[in-house]
Structure 1
């Protein structure tokens, strides 16, 4: 946040401990919003195998939902290992309200009875997230649209506790030029990369502000204060915004040219040519150069972030009995895994 010249609003509190989460899990049990599940790992694996064989979506079948209270009490007294599951209603309509989409309906049959507390007593993300947000007084949850499918579970948890749910806002995902989900295989996704490459924080904030939103007057260059004073959810677009590095670079150029040469030099000295960076790379060429200007040839890639390979190096990247296309596919697969 500091690198982007942003300050957190308010103060984030540390997450609550396991004992407090267990108390909240007990509240859900008492309200019949959750139930203990005693199914073994072996049974669950057999269930998943049968579902795959039938070609249906995998999910818990509710085996323990209908256990008699006396049977549940006895198994708990005996210390039978169990998890705690969310009791998702099987009938009726289950819908959530998203500020950008309005009411979104879900088929309850397609929503799994989510595990809330694991057999070792550790809460899962869904329970911890809802309890933490409520105790911190969160009023608006702004997150990526890929979390929309989890919102019915979170809404049921708020209802189970008897709490008012926050306003949910699911933002469209950033896309590559080919409309695929943005990833580091096609675009650098680390803010550190752009900072080290010399993109101004003001330009990055300006550009990211236009991802799915536009100024009322159509301006493309504006300050953070302008954005804050003009922003409304109604102007958000659900179409996947494209992260265009060329346009970001153009916008960054505008910021560079409106500043003085002295200001630009100061940015160089605090980003690309810091004393620490030069001190780190200098030993790598100390024994290789004959004159100081040779530094430009030997150290260029340390400052541009780009590495070029000659034909001999490219040939070495292709394994024996493989062609260039197969090698590229293999490298793509590795990068996808690293993502």
Structure 2
């Protein structure tokens, strides 16, 4: 029975690298009829916060890993197993597989002549017993090698002579991460450990611990590191890495899942846009490559645009809802008209790459005055724009208020100024919507209505006049 685990620490926002690892574990569990175990590694009491634990559960749910699914088990909390960790440490000591050490870092440096060399085994045969301040070290074999069975990386070999006698319990008796992780995996019956490659260097030590505790180690799979455009490992100090931030910017969870699944793996053909269920069916951990995976935000954004366009009209309107209310919406309470938005939504849906962009596309419909974007104004309001806008206002005062008629009227005015429609509509668009880019102009004017359109043209003419006077 396949049992995989995802074991994050509740010390911050949910990293996209963690999301990728969780999805790969989820795919392995689901396609094999196995179990996905969520374990919260919460023993770092100085940094843990309860809200981060809930954040992990919520983030997993957002990418389709639900606690209600039969494949899901947990969450378990590492802090609940501390006594078991202590017993395992004492078990290793009693079996002669670990010994107490009172060496300080300064003493080790003095003996070896370097701050960077590993532990030299000085206390191996001193027969020290437990006392406050004495760490417990695992006695690694002096000869032979440790072979790691890795589904992604083959069989990395680690000479035992190169593995120092590492600490498994601190001077106060509390077990360190390496031992706690192994004991939890053992107790929870984990058969495969799928995690980031930064943990590969710890794996021979953990494998030795598994053997010393009388158990067969799991099968390992170490996933490629995720890097930014400079090919540096994604860092929360330098890069945008929180899944919550991407979702908050308007990336659809389905698009995030699709993109994250492809960071190190592919289905073997030219397809990239595909639903998770199909990727789950095709996924094989053995097909994950070892090369660093580039987190390409531009590509992710393109994926998101595809997913937005594929939504039904109802689903698109529902997905936009958070950005049409406070704190995102710039208009006041009661200004939003759901009926107007439902009419304009299909026009916006084909243009968005992020759901958060919806506000700037439709705000002109719900604000008393359009936003003033200085760059858009400078680009559109060229010499002669005042006369053009006056003539458009005159034409629109009596035009039939339908898109085709409004377009025809503007075309006629533009021709009288020697302008094609594309050039003629630029100052009109900025006067009415505030921006040079937006929804189809004439459908927008129809929804805005004659009175509001004429009032905005008047306001633009006044601004032009005031600017000319001040200059």
Question: Shorter-chain TM-score category?
Answer: 0.7 to 0.9
Deviation at 1:225, TM superposition (A): 0.4
> What is the aligned partner in structure 2 of residue 20 from structure 1?
84
Report the CA distance shift for 1:17/1:185 in structure 2 as closer, same or farther (over 3 A).
closer
> What is the aligned partner in structure 2 of residue 10 from structure 1?
73
Please report the TM-score for the alignment, with normalisation by the length of structure 1.
0.74
Contact 1:38 1:80 in 2 (8 A): no
For the pair 1:191 / 2:243, whether they are aligned, the reply is: yes
5+ residue gaps in structure 2? 1-59, 334-366, 374-471
For the pair 1:61 / 2:120, whether they are aligned, the reply is: yes
The one-character-per-residue Cα deviations of 1:67-89 (angstroms, maximum 9, x if unpaired) are: 25xxx3xx55xx46411111111
Match of 1:249 among 275, 290, 301: 301
Match of 1:259 among 267, 289, 311: 311
Match of 1:181 among 219, 233, 248: 233
Query: Quick check: which has more Rg, 1 or 2?
Result: 2
- CA distance in 2: counterparts of 1:66 and 1:145, whole angstroms: 35
> What is the aligned partner in structure 2 of residue 35 from structure 1?
99
Contact 2:84 2:183 in 1 (8 A): no
- CA distance in 2: counterparts of 1:214 and 1:18, whole angstroms: 40
Deviation at 1:34, TM superposition (A): 1.2
How many residues matched?
277
> What is the aligned partner in structure 2 of residue 310 from structure 1?
none
Deviates more, 1:101-110 or 1:206-215: 101-110
Deviation at 1:278, TM superposition (A): 5.0
The one-character-per-residue Cα deviations of 1:85-109 (angstroms, maximum 9, x if unpaired) are: 1111122222222111221111323
Question: How well do the aligned residues superpose, as a CA RMSD in angstroms?
Answer: 2.6
Match of 1:160 among 208, 212, 227: 212
Contact 2:109 2:115 in 1 (8 A): no
For the pair 1:273 / 2:324, whether they are aligned, the reply is: yes
Helix, strand or coil for the counterpart of 1:13?
strand
- CA distance in 1: counterparts of 2:195 and 2:213, whole angstroms: 22
- CA distance in 2: counterparts of 1:294 and 1:33, whole angstroms: 74
Deviation at 1:48, TM superposition (A): 2.6
Contact 2:152 2:287 in 1 (8 A): no
Helix, strand or coil for the counterpart of 1:98?
coil
Contact 1:142 1:168 in 2 (8 A): yes
Helix, strand or coil for the counterpart of 1:59?
coil
- CA distance in 1: counterparts of 2:117 and 2:370, whole angstroms: 61
Contact 2:229 2:294 in 1 (8 A): yes
- Higher RCO (Cα < 8 Å, 6 or more apart): 1
- CA distance in 2: counterparts of 1:282 and 1:146, whole angstroms: 49
